[in-house]
Amino acid sequence: MRTRAAAGILTAALTALLLAPAAPAAAHNALRSATPAQDARLTAAPTSVTLRFLQRLNPEFTTIVVSDADRQRVPTGVPAVDGTTGTVTVDKPLTNGTYTVAYRVVSADGHPVQGSYRFTVADPAAPAASPPPASAGAVTSADAPSAPISATGADDGPPVAPVAGGAVVALAVAGAVVWLLRRRAS
Ligand SMILES: [Cu+2]
């Protein structure tokens, strides 16, 4: 009799343990769907984020935050709550990249529920956030001097002396020839 009672208590305790985590979760609020959807890859940047929940939202305790890949918060409006739906408008156009939507809402029993998901903006018409500077390298090399300017001017000097020396020699030879011819003639 005693063992049967103990087994009954043990079974009840195990059953309670197994059921315990499931019971509050069923009563809690949860994200039902979202726009943009989880892991969505959009070809046009969204201007708003809409989250639809299982339970009605309390506007006072509804937070929706959008952040970029650098975990910088994207400017949005205050969440507009309508029944089970919360929407924030995105103030600035989103550049291409991956964004995280984080939310925190309150369940009917007062317990908070939070979660997050990501979506990606990949607009083929939008330029990348930082386009590669294609012309920078070409401009830098064009500014550099092509060749040292002083190389050509120095070559004009040396040939002057041989020419002068040759002229002096030629004049001396000519003078000697003239002197010899005069001596013979006289
Ligand atoms: Cu709860």
* Token code pair at residue 106: 């309150």
Q: How sure is the predictor about 141, in pLDDT bands with cuts at 50, 70 and 90?
A: very low
Give the chain's length.
186
Query: What is the pLDDT, as a whole number, of residue 180?
Result: 57
Domain segments of the chain as ranges: 26-121
Query: What is the pLDDT, as a whole number, of residue 126?
Result: 80
113's enclosing H/E stretch is strand 112-121
Mean pLDDT computed over 42-62 = 97
Query: What is the pLDDT, as a whole number, of residue 27?
Result: 83
Task: Count other C-beta atoms under 10 Å from residue 31's C-beta.
Answer: 19
Mean pLDDT computed over 2-9 = 57
Look at residue 100 and tell me whether its pLDDT is greater than 70: yes
Across 43-47, 50-54, 94-98, 131-135, least confident range: 131-135
* CA 141 to ligand 1 centroid distance, Å: 67
* CA 25 to ligand 1 centroid distance, Å: 7
pLDDT tens-digit profile of 166-179? 666 666 766 666 66
- Which strands, in side-by-side order, build the sheet including 85-89? 31-35, 48-53, 85-89, 80-82
* CA 106 to ligand 1 centroid distance, Å: 9
Q: Which fold has domain 26-121?
A: Immunoglobulin-like (2.60.40)
Q: How sure is the predictor about 163, in pLDDT bands with cuts at 50, 70 and 90?
A: low
* CA 140 to ligand 1 centroid distance, Å: 65
* CA 110 to ligand 1 centroid distance, Å: 6
Look at residue 164 and tell me whether its pLDDT is greater than 50: yes
**If you write DSSP's letter for every residue of 130-159 in order, what string do you get?**
S---TTHHHHHHHHS-SS-GGGTGGGGSTT
Residues, CB within 5 angstroms of ligand 1 (ion): 24, 109, 111
Cα 174 from Cα 85, distance rounded (Å): 117
